[in-house]
C-alpha cells in the first residue's frame, strides 16, 4: 500500500479540522456571528424606535399645522365678518345721515314755501288795500274805476312777479 498524495491531503485536512475544533474556532466564529447578529438586531430595534418617534413627531407637527391652518382660517373668516359688519354699519350710518339731511332740506323747503305764500298773501292784501284806497280817492266815476281796476291788476301781477323772483 502506497501512500499517495490524496491520503496525505486527507490526513492533513482531518488534522486541520481537529486543530480547529481543539481551539474552538467554529464556536468563536458562531459567537462572533451571534454577537454581530445581536448588535444588528439592537440597531434595528433602535432604528424602529427612532422611526416610531419620528412618526409621532410627524403626526404632532401635522396636527399643529392643521390647527394653525384652522386658526388662520377662523381669523380670516372673523376678519371678513368684522369687515362686513363695519361696511354695513358705515353704510347704515351714511344712509341715516343722508336721510336726516334730506328731511332737513325738505323741512327748509317747506318753511321757505310757507314764507313765500305768506309774503305773497301779505303783498296781495297790501296791493288790494292800496287799490281800494286809490279807487276811493279818485271818486266813483265808472271810467276812472275801470282804469284803476286794470292798473291795479297790472300792479298786482308785477308785484307778484317781483316777489316770486
Rounded to whole angstroms, what are the CA distances from 11 to 1, 17, 22, 149, 162? 16, 10, 16, 172, 154
Q: What are the pLDDT digits (tens) for 46-77?
A: 999 999 999 999 999 999 999 999 999 999 99
pLDDT tens readout for residues 112-139? 989 988 888 888 888 877 777 776 666 5
Q: Global pTM?
A: 0.41
Question: Residue 141 — φ and ψ, nearest 5°?
Answer: -70, 135
Phi, psi angle pair for 2, to nearest 5°:
-100, 140
Is the pLDDT at 110 greater than 70, yes or no? yes
pLDDT of residue 100: 93
pLDDT tens-digit map of 79-104: 999 999 999 999 999 999 999 999 99
Q: Enumerate residues 6+ apart whose C-beta is below 8 A from 163.
A: 116, 119, 120, 123
Is 70 exceeded by the pLDDT of residue 5?
Answer: yes
Q: Where along the chain do its domains lie?
A: 17-164
Amino acid at each position: 500500500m502506497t501512500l499517495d498524495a490524496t491520503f496525505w491531503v486527507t490526513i492533513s485536512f482531518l488534522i486541520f479540522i481537529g486543530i480547529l475544533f481543539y481551539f474552538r474556532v467554529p464556536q468563536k466564529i458562531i459567537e462572533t456571528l451571534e454577537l454581530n447578529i445581536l448588535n444588528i438586531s439592537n440597531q434595528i430595534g433602535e432604528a424602529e424606535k427612532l422611526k416610531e418617534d419620528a412618526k409621532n413627531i410627524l403626526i404632532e407637527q401635522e396636527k399643529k399645522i392643521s390647527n394653525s391652518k384652522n386658526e388662520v382660517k377662523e381669523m380670516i373668516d372673523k376678519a371678513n365678518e368684522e369687515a362686513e359688519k363695519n361696511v354695513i354699519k358705515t353704510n347704515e350710518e351714511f344712509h341715516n345721515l343722508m336721510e336726516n339731511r334730506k328731511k332737513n332740506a325738505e323741512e327748509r323747503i317747506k318753511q321757505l314755501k310757507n314764507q313765500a305764500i305768506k309774503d305773497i298773501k301779505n303783498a296781495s292784501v297790501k296791493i288790494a288795500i292800496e287799490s281800494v284806497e286809490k279807487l276811493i280817492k279818485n271818486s266813483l266815476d265808472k271810467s276812472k274805476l275801470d282804469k284803476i281796476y286794470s292798473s291795479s291788476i297790472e300792479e298786482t301781477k308785477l308785484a307778484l312777479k317781483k316777489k316770486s323772483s
